[in-house]
Amino acid sequence: MRKICLSANIAEENTFVLIEKDKAAVIDPGFNGKEALAILSESGIKEVIILLTHGHFDHIRDIPVILDSYDAPIYIQEMDKEFLYDERLSYARAFHSHFSLDRAKTVITFKEKESISFFHEEIKAFHTPGHTGGSAVFLIGDNLYSGDTLFKDGVGRTDLYTGNMNDLTNSLKFIRSKFSRQINVLPGHGPSGKMESVIEENPYF
């Protein structure tokens, strides 16, 4: 599977494009939609899904860019679904912008966990509240896409709508106990790293 990280944007937000043959998953198409779309086009992609680790504006802004060219279903944890339709919840206004997804677009929600059959390797989604009530991580092979739940050297803030530090602490305990030390942690901002080094270096562990 080919994996591309796009991060050259004002929020230093990581968008991941995963490609297997003529299928692609775009994780958090925040401020990198045009670049992601160019990669999809150049790669001859026919089928796309969008995976969201949570509903903040810097992770969802360019969803319409992808949807203009692909009829891509959007996967998000159920507690963050309304972020897609309410710019007060997504904090689009904090970026002096606007965002409201067309309710006719396909949005698929999950609760505590979900197995998504798309690639040859199963996509596993896990609910990890704290940064937002509906934050989630995605495990694909030996890669954990952790959004703003877990960075290499920190965690996402918990003082925004539905954020909760106690929930985040429990989510970190879950991540530490659930996943191998040898998997790669690919966060929503900043550099990636092996789980073992994240546990050693991250003060929240």
Percent of all residues in the chain with a pLDDT value above 70, rounded to a whole number = 100
List the domains of the chain with CATH numbers: 2-201 (3.60.15.10)
Res 11: pLDDT: 75
At 17, is the pLDDT very low, low, confident or very high (cuts 50, 70, 90)? very high
Residue 70: which region, alpha, beta or left (left: phi > 0; alpha: psi -120 to 50)?
A: beta
Residue from 174, 168, 172, 154 nearest 113 by CA: 174
d(CA 188, CA 178): 20
pTM: 0.96
Residue from 92, 107, 18 nearest 57 by CA: 92
77 bridge partner residues: 110
Of 94 and 77, the one with more pLDDT: 77
Model pLDDT for residues 53-82, shown as the tens digit of each residue: 999 999 999 999 999 999 999 999 999 999
